[in-house]
Structure 1
Amino acid sequence: MVLVLGEVQTAALRHSGSVPRELAEGVLALLAGERVRVSERPISHAVSPHVLTGVDCRIAARSGARVRGVGTLMGRVCLTGGRVLQGSAVVRVEPIGGGHRRAWSHYLARPGVVETLGRTDLPGTAAAHLGADRSSSTMGMGAVCNRLIAEVQGSSLLDRRPPVRARRTVLRWAALTDSDIEGVRVRFTVHEDGLRTVRLLLGQVPVADIVELCEDLALHDWLLTALVSIIEQSRIGVDEPVQIIHRLRPAVDHLLHLWMPAARLGGFALSVWEGLDGRPGLSRQWEASVRRIRDQIAMAAALAHRPAEAAPLFR
């Protein structure tokens, strides 16, 4: 059995416009000499080089026991549509017998792997990772994500005038993989304070595929959360249509075109997304929210061009 843990933080980029390719490459160039990967289809997507963070800490299990872990976390930053920024951290946990710490050169040669010294309860470690509150994260993954996002947001290339203000969300995930497991079992939970958790039980799957699945889920969960927040703050049915449309406009200009679930996924990740979308109904809620915005725009246009004698019909 193999345990992979991760965390993804998602936020709006602090820039007034959609970031073009050249600017995206500049703000995501976290390591000198390392290339920023950029794709344009079906939606622009830029990924920074991986950044390693060494850790030597205690890792909690559900039982309350703690085991020492030594190794490196692997982090990166993603920018989708020139608008949505994500900081992502991942680590594979490997129990090592003997309990002797090795030189750092050994751990640096195994990027994204933390070796635990002593007896390790992998399912218990996964449960503790998912059960922690938003302010606590295993091996400081939250701090890694926050640092990477802060480095990009602080770039002098950005004007720091975001048109959409939405709360940052945190998606914390744990994947237990085993060759004896058939199919995929997944549990997606929405918690308070912008925290989401995903638990995966699956067969042998490349870690990169799991990371991309969780980043895509975090992206679309943030888009839906931001859209619902804008609608709630628009005061539909309370204020005048012109005021309501003014508050809804950022969603139309900057969010609606970004919804493309599983656009870059394939294989097992695509099937997991389809299963998730069928139960929580993320796409159904998104489509209902988009229809509500378009209905408000249509009604405002009808009211603006109605003849005076028809006014009572709209009261």
Structure 2
Amino acid sequence: MVLVLGEVQTAALRHSGSVPRELAEGVLALLAGERVRVSERPISHAVSPHVLTGVDCRIAARSGARVRGVGTLMGRVCLTGGRVLQGSAVVRVEPIGGGHRQAWSHYLTRPGVVETLGRIDLPGTAAAHLAADRSSSTMGMGAVCNRLIAEVQGSSLLDRRPPVRARRTVLRWAALTDTDTEGVRVRFTVHEDGLRTVRLLLGQVAVADIVELCEDLALHDWLLTALVSIIEQSRIGVDEPVQIIHRLRPAVDHLLHLWMPAARLGGFALSVWEGLDGRPGLSRQWEASVRRIRDQIAMAAALAHRPAEAVPLFR
């Protein structure tokens, strides 16, 4: 059994417009001499070089037991549609017999791996990782994500005038992979304070594929959260249609075209998305929200040249 832990923080880029490819490469160039990967189809997507962070700390299990872990977290930043920024951190936890700490040169040859100096309860560690509140995270993953996002948001290339103001979300995930596991079992939970958790039980899948799946899920969860927030603040049914459309416009201009679940992912991720849409129904809620916005636009257009009048809803 292999345990992989991760966290993804998602926020709006602090820039007034969608950044072009050249600007995206500039703000995501976190390491000198390392290339920023950019793709344009089916949607623009830029990924920074991986940044390693050394850790030597205690790792908790749900039982309360703690074991020392030493190694490196692997982090990166992603920018989707020139609009949505994500800081992501991942680590594979590997128990090592003997209990002796190696020199840092040993751990640097194994990026994204933390070795535990002693026996560890992998399912219990996964449970503890997911049970932690938003302010605390395993091995400081939250701090890594926050630092990466802050570095990009502080770039002098950005004008710091975001047209969409939405709360940052945190998606914390744990994947247990085992050769004896058939198919994929996933549990997605929405908590308070913008925290989401994902627990995955699956067979042998590459860590990179799991990371991309969780980043994609975090992206679309943030899009849905931001869209719902804009609709709730638009005062539909209270204010005049012109005022409502003015408040809904940022969603139309900057968010609606970004919804493409699993567009860049393979078959493994598609099966997970099908399962998520079966219960939480992320796509159904998104489509219903989009229809509501379009209905408001259509109604405002129909009423634009008609005199305002009060009509009772029930006679």
> Shorter chain as normaliser: what TM range?
over 0.9
Deviation at 1:225, TM superposition (A): 0.1
Asked whether the 8 Å contact 1:11–1:84 carries over to 2, the reply is yes
Aligned equivalents of 1:250, 1:308: Cα separation in 2: 26
Note closer, same or farther for the CA distance 1:72–1:305 as it changes in structure 2 (3 Å cut): same
Aligned equivalents of 1:272, 1:313: Cα separation in 2: 44
For structure 2, which runs of at least 5 residues remain unmatched after alignment?
Answer: none
Note closer, same or farther for the CA distance 1:74–1:309 as it changes in structure 2 (3 Å cut): closer
Aligned equivalents of 2:204, 2:263: Cα separation in 1: 23
Deviation at 1:267, TM superposition (A): 1.8
Aligned equivalents of 1:314, 1:220: Cα separation in 2: 39
Structure 1 residues 241-267: Cα deviation after superposition (integer angstroms, max 9, x where no partner): 111111000000000000000000112
Structure 1 residues 63-116: Cα deviation after superposition (integer angstroms, max 9, x where no partner): 000000000000000000000000000000000011000000000000000000
Aligned equivalents of 2:196, 2:311: Cα separation in 1: 47
Deviation at 1:119, TM superposition (A): 1.2
Structure 1 residues 230-286: Cα deviation after superposition (integer angstroms, max 9, x where no partner): 000000011111111110000000000000000001121111111111211000000
Moved more, 235-244 or 5-14: 235-244
Asked whether the 8 Å contact 1:189–1:196 carries over to 2, the reply is yes
Structure 1 residues 100-147: Cα deviation after superposition (integer angstroms, max 9, x where no partner): 000000000000000000110000000000000000100000000000
Secondary structure in structure 2 of the residue aligned to 1:8: strand
Note closer, same or farther for the CA distance 1:143–1:22 as it changes in structure 2 (3 Å cut): same
Secondary structure in structure 2 of the residue aligned to 1:116: strand
Deviation at 1:312, TM superposition (A): 9.1
Equivalent residue number for residue 104 of structure 1: 104
For structure 1, which runs of at least 5 residues remain unmatched after alignment?
Answer: none
Deviation at 1:311, TM superposition (A): 8.5
Structure 1 residues 189-235: Cα deviation after superposition (integer angstroms, max 9, x where no partner): 00000000000000000000000000000000000000000000000
Moved more, 25-34 or 298-307: 298-307
Note closer, same or farther for the CA distance 1:314–1:42 as it changes in structure 2 (3 Å cut): farther
Aligned equivalents of 1:308, 1:181: Cα separation in 2: 63
Aligned equivalents of 1:83, 1:209: Cα separation in 2: 23
Deviation at 1:305, TM superposition (A): 2.2
After TM superposition, where is structure 1 displaced by more than 3 Å over at least 4 residues in a row? Answer: 307-315
Aligned equivalents of 2:31, 2:40: Cα separation in 1: 22
Note closer, same or farther for the CA distance 1:106–1:306 as it changes in structure 2 (3 Å cut): same
Structure 1 residues 164-207: Cα deviation after superposition (integer angstroms, max 9, x where no partner): 00000000000000000011110000000000000000000000
Note closer, same or farther for the CA distance 1:185–1:311 as it changes in structure 2 (3 Å cut): closer
Asked whether the 8 Å contact 1:14–1:158 carries over to 2, the reply is yes
Moved more, 6-15 or 277-286: 277-286
Deviation at 1:58, TM superposition (A): 0.3
Instruction: Report the count of equivalent residues.
Output: 315
Identity over the aligned pairs, expressed in percent? 97
Note closer, same or farther for the CA distance 1:15–1:159 as it changes in structure 2 (3 Å cut): same
Secondary structure in structure 2 of the residue aligned to 1:67: strand
TM norm structure 2: 0.98
Secondary structure in structure 1 of the residue aligned to 2:313: helix
Deviation at 1:306, TM superposition (A): 2.8
Note closer, same or farther for the CA distance 1:248–1:105 as it changes in structure 2 (3 Å cut): same
Note closer, same or farther for the CA distance 1:239–1:136 as it changes in structure 2 (3 Å cut): same
Note closer, same or farther for the CA distance 1:201–1:312 as it changes in structure 2 (3 Å cut): closer
TM norm structure 1: 0.98
Secondary structure in structure 2 of the residue aligned to 1:314: coil
Aligned equivalents of 2:309, 2:132: Cα separation in 1: 61
Equivalent residue number for residue 175 of structure 2: 175
Deviation at 1:313, TM superposition (A): 10
Secondary structure in structure 1 of the residue aligned to 2:289: helix
Asked whether the 8 Å contact 1:72–1:108 carries over to 2, the reply is yes
1:212 pairs with 2:212: yes
Equivalent residue number for residue 142 of structure 1: 142
Aligned equivalents of 2:124, 2:27: Cα separation in 1: 38
Equivalent residue number for residue 46 of structure 1: 46
Asked whether the 8 Å contact 1:303–1:314 carries over to 2, the reply is no
Equivalent residue number for residue 278 of structure 1: 278
Structure 1 residues 31-57: Cα deviation after superposition (integer angstroms, max 9, x where no partner): 000000000000000000000000000
Deviation at 1:314, TM superposition (A): 13
Secondary structure in structure 1 of the residue aligned to 2:277: helix
